[in-house]
Amino acid sequence: MKTPDQGKLKTVEYCTPPDRNLRAPAVQMGALSCDCHAHICGPESSFAYSDDRIYTPPDALLPDYLKQLEILGIERSVFVQPSIYGADNTVLLGAMQQMNTAGIACRGIAVLQDRVTDTDLEDLHQAGVRGLRFNLVDVADTSSNASLQQILPLCKRIARLGWHSEFLLHTDDYPDFEACFEAFPTDIVLGHTGYLRLGQTGDNPGFKGMLQLAAAGKCWVKLTAPYRISASGELPFAEAGEFARAVVEAAPERAVWGSDWPHVNISTPMPNDADLCDLFLDWVPDAQTRRQILVENPAILYDF
């Protein structure tokens, strides 16, 4: 595995690239379906990565992603700001603009600092941003992360725009999850089905609190990245399936799905995206519920 040019970038090992073997899933995702969690990375030669990153992705560019969408039968997308760019949303906004120019419906989830102006927020809204991401775990120095109390002022500011707050956190860190978030000023969205640490189960108090908030209509859950939450480390990622089914049973109206393309910073074998679509088919065998999760829920959450 190669390493970056030390004169250009902090030395952080390159991730495995996504599987370039494009093949169709057993059932295409369908008209107006939405991939609610994907990242565009690079080109590295033009957009420098943050020195604080914990991984270095190979280029994962829009043309490759568009080919993936076509073969999977997905018609809408949500790009999420990856941690490698910190609060510099240049690549995110550029990819969104290209998508919208091409007539492909696209939204974005940005990362911002407290000093962002109201004018900046309005401009981002016009560009298609509909939420902010707060990564509380997958960072180089978790001790430097803002607390929920520190995040609140910015979240209150975005509430007037109808935006939500997306958290990358481990729900097992929050045994009082429901109490922590039930009065939050925006809707909250949880990545990776609550991102339970390996070895946790659906009986975890934090996970159960997330389900309760979702059932009460106060949070949304992304059914993404089964390889990040399954101790087995290989298909069919059994634990992830159990967590996903629990979400769908508790609150199908608050679940969305995402590919997590290009699957950065994983230690398991690189999955093929068609297999991930087939897993979703297994988790949600009912066609109407699949449509709710792939089409109807994203239209509400991301204002399509």
Residues 36-49 pLDDT 10s: 999 999 999 999 99
CA distance 211 to 195: 13
CA distance 55 to 262: 13
Mean of pLDDT values over 4-23: 75
Mean of pLDDT values over 4-22: 74
pLDDT at position 144 is 56
Q: Which helix (H) or strand (E) holds 117?
A: none
Of the options 3.10.129.10, 3.20.20.140, 1.10.260.40, 2.60.34.10, the CATH number for the domain spanning 34-301: 3.20.20.140
- Among the listed residues 15, 2, 9, the one whose alpha carbon sits nearest the alpha carbon of residue 51: 9
**DSSP secondary structure of 5-49:** -TTTS---PBPPPPP------SS---TT-EEEEE--B--TTTSPP
CA distance 303 to 285: 26
Catalytic site residue from 35, 172, 260, 273: 260
Q: Is pLDDT above 80 for 142?
A: no
pLDDT at position 143 is 59
pLDDT at position 13 is 87
Told to judge if 260 belongs to the known catalytic residues of this protein, a careful annotator would answer yes
Domain coordinates in residue numbering, the chain: 34-301
Q: Is pLDDT above 50 for 295?
A: yes
pLDDT at position 148 is 87
For 102-122, write each residue's pLDDT tens digit: 999 999 999 999 999 999 999
pLDDT at position 277 is 98
Q: Considering the entire predicted model, what is its pTM?
A: 0.94
Using DSSP, state whether 60 is helix, strand or coil. strand
For 157-216, write each residue's pLDDT tens digit: 999 999 999 999 999 999 999 999 999 999 999 999 999 999 999 999 999 999 999 999
For 239-284, write each residue's pLDDT tens digit: 999 999 999 999 999 999 999 999 999 999 999 999 999 999 999 9
Bridge partners of 106?
77
For 39-92, write each residue's pLDDT tens digit: 999 999 999 999 989 999 999 999 999 999 999 999 999 999 999 999 999 999
Supply the Cα-derived Rg of the chain in whole angstroms: 18
